[in-house]
Structure 1
Amino acid sequence: METEKLDILSLSLDEIIMELDSMGEKKFRAEQIFNWLHVKKVTDFSEMSNISLELRTKLSEKFYIKRLNIVKRLESCVDNTIKYLYGLEDGNHIESVLMDYKHGNSICISTQVGCRMGCNFCASTIAGFRRNLTPSEMLMQIYLAEKDSGRHVDSLVLMGIGEPLDNYNNVIRFLELLSSPKGRNMSLRHVSLSTCGIAPRINDLAKLKTGLTLSVSLHSADNERRSEIMPVNRSWDINELIAACREYIKETGRRISFEYAVISGVNDSPRDAEALAALLRGMNCHINLIPVNKIKERSYSADRRSVEQFSKRLERLGMNVTVRRTLGADINAACGQLRREYEI
């Protein structure tokens, strides 16, 4: 029976060292291979020019390098945003979005194929959950976008298709690989992880003290209403979520960003603003208001004026608030939309 090949891009440097040691190879060879994978971003062992042909042959027999294909690429004429639809080796599809900010290039990547969280306003969840992404499939979204665009990615947001904390172990391995000093070496202070509120995993993440920014999708300060639009609230309600967030701040010393998708007639009243301010007052946090994205399967909407009014109410209540800048509006850059349209 043929042994299944190992996904080498998902292996840590220590694991590659161990594998090569079992093949009678020195540690420095593993470091060379790791550099080829995560710094030079090669997708074939034949490209590793300082590795002998004999070893490259052995590597190709024992390992494989994960690949993604760009199925569709949309570039904004307005703000240099590039949206990618990637095809995976099993026929599934995911998305990422490369954005141009004053502080540099940021990429929003997917962590799952689909999502099982069921948030009512989100396009990612409509087609259902297929599977988790591997660490290599998360890395390749960055590496391929950099290769294709010629732009260096300076920061990262885990806010595309999927719930990162529902794919916890793979996401943590991905972050370890991304920040490896001998690899991509990205500081996790330039990484933001967005979660809909899986409280136990927020507690687990706090203990790791990674330095990343935690972004929590709140969208309502009322348990009943939040449960209607975000089913995850039925498992871990607002009280449990906020307790986990307070513990995260205590453990890490890092400020939390609360994401709030403003939905006209649902969560944008003066009473909603007062409840949100009362819930978060005294926390080391920031509120990021997001005009809800229109998707054809849902009737939710928000106009810029109502978002600005909601922002001003929160500011008068003493809260630290910003309204997210809309990027890639001409290419429907909200994650989930392109995959949904392609697979229908």
Structure 2
Amino acid sequence: MQTNNPEKQYLLNYSRTELHQLVQDLKIDSYRADQIFKGIYTQLLPDFSGLTTLSKSLRENLDSAAILRSIKQLTETVSPDNETIKFLWQLSDGRKIESVIIYEGSRITFCISSQVGCALDCGFCSTGKMGFLRNLSSGEIVEQVLLMKQRAKLPPTNIVYMGMGEPLLNLKNVLKAAEILSDPEGLAFSRKKITISTSGIAPAILKLADQDVPFSLAVSLNAVFEEKRKTIMPVSTNYPLNTLLENIRYYVKKTGKKITFEYIMIDGFNDTRVDADRLISLTAGIPCKINLIPCNSEDPAYPPSPNKTVKWFADYLHDRGRTATVRLRKGWEIQAACGQLYAKNENEKGTKITFNQIKTA
């Protein structure tokens, strides 16, 4: 649980329970752990100097042993309508990630990354072109939220793991970060308002069900015919639709929760009546909502469905008993919309995980 300084502990990697143990190891009274935790998450302190509930000598001791920040902001880009802000961050090892604030009426959504790059190489997604460099630590995930909360001046209404990376291939750190963010003694963020998204890592969905994970789940479906899905989402070669949907049915039965299906709409590819009928058939009996997202790819091979097609598709689903919503293309002008996040990491090429590796990731 360290950053680039091996002498200092990165406290955002620590749950409240772990922080109690660390404080004891540092020969500090255990009750101080709660004061430190509250300072980190309710005061958003970047260092220990503002933690005035502690004596100066104790703050100095902590400063010599630990840090509260390891991420540096490189750029901030604001959309023309001022409703989307994209951040480029540099991690302690020099690698880069992006995350996004989205304003929509009274809603403020923080879209956070879970990995540097992504191994799954979905055809329409810019992040996949980076390849996979490494997982983020739980603290690096948490810090994105703290830094964006400082910028937004308001708490988010939703936190979504829909930035860079496949969250279920970094499941341990993703879940730990979500637990830290929802700790009642810290940010106390609603667990139901934290959404973990996946491209379809089917075995991990079973884990979420069996562990009764309290957070929401979204699955990127994007095509309803196997061969089509394989062409845009190679993960479907390893975890075909029938397996994925079988595990989703297990998840909703075991947990009693609804899930969200994300459906990227590509002109002429997956937006016909045949596709809509198949989507209705595949989701029969699954408590869900379907999020329709006009494709934001920079690649001309993946043009977005026209607005009138998206509206027709949504109405068609709704008239046949499905809850379907259309996600606005927030931030597409600044490459901050779904599928557009990309951070160049100089002199380093990411890897693509083979399907055998995905099985054990």
2:86 matches 1:87: no
Counterparts of 2:315 and 2:157 in 1: how far apart (Å)?
A: 31
SS of alignment partner, residue 148 of structure 1: helix
In the TM superposition, residue 226 of structure 1 has moved relative to its aligned partner by: 1.0
The whole-number CA distance in structure 2 between the counterparts of 1:38 and 1:289 is: 34
User: Where do residues 45-56 of structure 1 align in structure 2 (5 Å cutoff)?
Assistant: 45-56=48-59
Alignment of 1:10-25 (within 5 A): 10-25=13-28
Q: How many Å separate the matches in 1 of 2:214 and 2:93?
A: 34
CA distances 1:178-230 after superposition (whole Å, capped 9, x unpaired)? 11111111111111111101111111112233332211000111111111111
Q: 1:79 offset after TM fit, Å?
A: 4.9
Distance 1:280 1:19 in 2: 47
Report if aligned partners of 1:163, 1:195 keep a CA contact under 8 Å in 2: yes
1:123-159 CA deviation, whole Å, 9 max, x = no partner? 1110111111111111111111121232322211110
Letter in 2 for 1:165: L
Q: 1:50-105: CA deviations, max 9, x gaps? A: 22233223323332223322211112232522111112121111111111123431
Alignment-derived partner of residue 40 in structure 1: 43
1:119 offset after TM fit, Å? 0.7
Residue 267 in 1 paired to residue 275 in 2? no
In 1, distance between residues paired with 2:152 and 2:73?
12
Give the structure-2-normalised TM-score.
0.89
1:72 counterpart = 2:75 = yes
Choose from 101, 105, 108 the match for 1:105.
108
Where does structure 1 differ by over 6 angstroms across 4 or more consecutive aligned residues? 341-344
Alignment partners' CA distance in 2, 1:272 and 1:104: 31
Amino acid paired to 2:208: L
**Match of residue 33 from structure 2:** 30
- Measure the CA separation in 1 of the matches of 2:249 and 2:7: 44
The answer to whether the 8 Å contact 2:107/2:157 transfers is yes
Compute the displacement of 1:340 (Å): 4.2
Closer/same/farther in 2, CA of residues 328 and 198 from structure 1, 3 Å limit: same
Give the aligned partner of residue 301 of structure 2.
Answer: 299
For 2:43 and 2:158, the matched residues in 1 are separated by 18
Shift in CA distance, 122/338, structure 1 to aligned 2, threshold 3 Å: closer
Deviations 1:250-280 (A, max 9, x none): 1221111101101112212221111111111
Q: 8 Å contact 1:85–1:338 — kept in the other structure?
A: no
Q: Provide the residue aligned with 1:145 in structure 2.
A: 148
Q: How many residues align?
A: 342
Match of 1:132 in 2: 135
Change (3 A) 1:227 1:185: same
Would you say 1:158 and 2:161 are equivalent positions?
yes
Pair 177,127 (structure 1): closer, same or farther in 2 beyond 3 Å: same
Normalised to the residue count of structure 1, the TM-score between the two structures is: 0.93
AA of the residue aligned to 2:266:
I
- Structure 1 gaps of 5+ residues are none
Map of 1:170 onto structure 2 = 173
Higher mean C-alpha displacement, 68-77 vs 308-317: 308-317
Whole-angstrom distance in 1 between the partners of 2:204 and 2:116:
20
Q: Which amino acid aligns with 1:174?
A: A
Whether 1:283 aligns to 2:286 is: yes
- Paired position in structure 2 for 1:319: 322
Q: How far 1:342 sits from its partner (Å)?
A: 8.6
SS of 1:153 mapped into structure 2: coil
Partner Cα distance (1:255, 1:223) in 2: 24
In structure 1, what residue type is equivalent to 2:78?
A: E
Q: Which stretch of the first structure deviates more once superposed, 196-205 or 323-332? A: 323-332
Which residue identity does 2:111 align to in structure 1?
C
The residue identity in structure 2 corresponding to 1:162 is G
C-alpha distance in 1 between matches for 2:206 and 2:213: 13
Q: Distance in 2 between matches of 1:108 and 1:32?
A: 29
Q: Aligned AA for 2:229?
A: R
Distance in 2 between the 1:271 and 1:118 partners? 26
CA distance in 2, matches of 1:278, 1:137: 40
- Match of residue 250 from structure 2: 247
Distance change >3 Å, CA 272–CA 337, structure 1 → 2: closer
Question: What secondary structure sits across from 2:73 in the alignment?
Answer: strand
Question: In structure 2, how many angstroms separate the alpha carbons of the residues matched to 1:292 and 1:23?
Answer: 51
User: Is the 1:109–1:141 contact (alpha carbons within 8 Å) kept by the matching residues of 2?
Assistant: yes
